[in-house]
Amino acid sequence: MTAFAPLTDGFGRVHTNLRISVTDRCNIRCFYCMPETVRFMPRSEVLSYEEIERFAGVLAKLGIERIRLTGGEPLVRNGLETLVAKLARIEGIRDIAMTTNGLLLADKAAALKQAGLHRLNISLDGLSEETFKKISRREGLSKVLDGIFAAQRAGFEKIRLNAVSIRGLTEVEIIPLGGFARQHNMQLRFIEFMPLDADGKWQTDQVLNGAEVRRMLEAEFGPLEPLPRSDASQPAVDYRFADGVGSIGFINPVSQPFCGDCNRLRITAEGKVRNCLFSHEEWDARALLRGGASDEDIANLVRESIAAKKPGHGIDEEGFLKPARAMYQIGG
Ligand code: SAM
């Protein structure tokens, strides 16, 4: 039940989807997201589980129904299942998902499922250790695969695998990933490389776009047929293979921006509200949470952020400036 007016921005977009970053820390160092050498923020700056619970509770009254936990790597934060259980008890929250790199999932999958986590997106850019190392600057592909299968055994259905597509690097991974997803009955989504790397080295020509990836998959596995959109705000355009085995989604924020249907807002690990991945402005919820503010004050802060939301991310516009934060500091 929505107790306050819903979170509608100046373009009529109603916000029902909250992404919560629980940490900026990560156990790998993907070049598209983080610097090689990184100084993480002090733990005292990071919102406690109780602070996150309160914030999510206020937003549920503003019509937020879906939550995704992200980071950094959410599973490096101790006892994440405790947070999941707290969020699962909030009235109005009907879907709790998490995006993870899967490295710690083998140990955690059952506890997360039991705590009330509904869905999992697991990042898997390729199936070769060589590509894994080139991207993450660490080892660990076999642990990720262990985590994926442990999640299946724990009862997570429709596991989504997220693969970032980068020209000159991930082409060799596309067919193996397609075969893997088909074989193991998982949804595979290719995401275009966005200008959110910490090193500021992103170049347009590194974006291996969804249309190209689609052509490669069709050449190997046969035609892809568009699936009906079940949710207008979903970032992916989904297809199924004409032979009936498996489905593939394309998240094309660079070549086909989907901002017009965006229903998402974010809170960073230290409690800054962001109305867009690419926003240059933030609203400090932590100051309110730690300063004795009322629920109405917190609601007003979020309303202010939503009211300031721009029509689009602007990557495609002249003069685009990437945000000062990199992806790991925002929460993907
Ligand atoms: N650590 C978790 C993980 O790896 O899934 C969650 C956080 S990570 C920032 C969330 C997602 O963002 C991952 O699927 C990652 O591949 C994606 N990502 C990070 N940087 C990106 C970029 N510059 N462009 C596109 N996707 C990116």
The residue whose CA has the least distance to atom 7 of ligand 1 is 71
249 CA → ligand 1 middle, Å: 16
d(CA 61, CA 3): 5
User: What SS3 class is residue 188?
Assistant: strand
d(CA 194, CA 326): 10
CA angle 198, 64, 93 (to 5 degrees): 110
The residue whose CA has the least distance to atom 1 of ligand 1 is 73
The residue whose CA has the least distance to atom 20 of ligand 1 is 33
CA 109 to chain centroid: 18
d(CA 37, CA 96): 32
Strands (E), the chain: 7-8, 14-15, 17-21, 66-70, 95-100, 119-123, 160-165, 187-192, 224-226, 237-241, 247-251, 264-267, 272-274, 283-284
The residue whose CA has the least distance to atom 8 of ligand 1 is 332
CA angle 144, 146, 151 (to 5 degrees): 95
Backbone angles phi, psi at 296, to 5 degrees: -65, -40
The residue whose CA has the least distance to atom 14 of ligand 1 is 123
2 CA → ligand 1 middle, Å: 31
With contact defined as beta carbons under 8 Å apart, do 126 and 169 qualify? no
Q: How far is CA 104 from CA 15, 85, 255, in A?
A: 31, 19, 33
d(CA 88, CA 45): 24
| pLDDT value for 111 | 98
The residue whose CA has the least distance to atom 11 of ligand 1 is 332
CA 195 to chain centroid: 15
Ligand 1 atom having least distance to the Cα of 253 = 25
The residue whose CA has the least distance to atom 10 of ligand 1 is 332
CA dihedral 41, 262, 98, 26 (to 10 degrees): -30
Q: Which residues pair with 163 in a beta bridge?
A: 190
Taken as a whole, the chain contains a residue count of 332
| pLDDT value for 2 | 47
Q: How far is CA 203 from CA 37, 208, 224, 327, in A?
A: 21, 11, 29, 16
28 CA → ligand 1 middle, Å: 11
pLDDT values of the chain reduced to their tens digit, one per residue, 332 residues: 446 789 999 999 999 999 999 999 999 999 999 999 999 999 999 999 999 999 999 999 999 999 999 999 999 999 999 999 999 999 999 999 999 999 999 999 999 999 999 999 999 999 999 999 999 999 999 999 999 999 999 999 999 999 999 999 999 999 999 999 999 999 999 999 999 999 999 999 999 999 999 999 999 999 999 999 888 899 999 999 999 999 999 999 999 999 999 999 999 999 999 999 999 999 999 999 999 999 999 999 999 999 999 999 999 888 899 999 999 999 98
Sequence-distant (≥ 6) Cβ neighbours of residue 105 within 8 angstroms? 75, 120, 122, 144, 146, 147, 148, 150, 151
270 CA → ligand 1 middle, Å: 18
Whole-prediction pTM value?
A: 0.97
Neighbours of 39 (CB within 10 A): 7
Test site for ligand 1: of 100, 137, 191, most ligand atoms within 8 A of the Cβ:
191
248 CA → ligand 1 middle, Å: 18
| pLDDT value for 245 | 93
Residue type, 309: K
| pLDDT value for 3 | 60
d(CA 290, CA 229): 41
Residue type, 44: S
- The residues lining ligand 1, judged by C-beta closer than 6 Å to any ligand atom, are 26, 32-33, 70-71, 73, 99-101, 123, 162, 164, 191, 193-194, 196-197, 327-328, 332
With contact defined as beta carbons under 8 Å apart, do 332 and 69 qualify? no
With contact defined as beta carbons under 8 Å apart, do 176 and 124 qualify? no
Test site for ligand 1: of 33, 148, 170, most ligand atoms within 8 A of the Cβ:
33
220 CA → ligand 1 middle, Å: 27
Ligand 1 atom having least distance to the Cα of 197 = 23
332 CA → ligand 1 middle, Å: 5
With contact defined as beta carbons under 8 Å apart, do 200 and 242 qualify? no
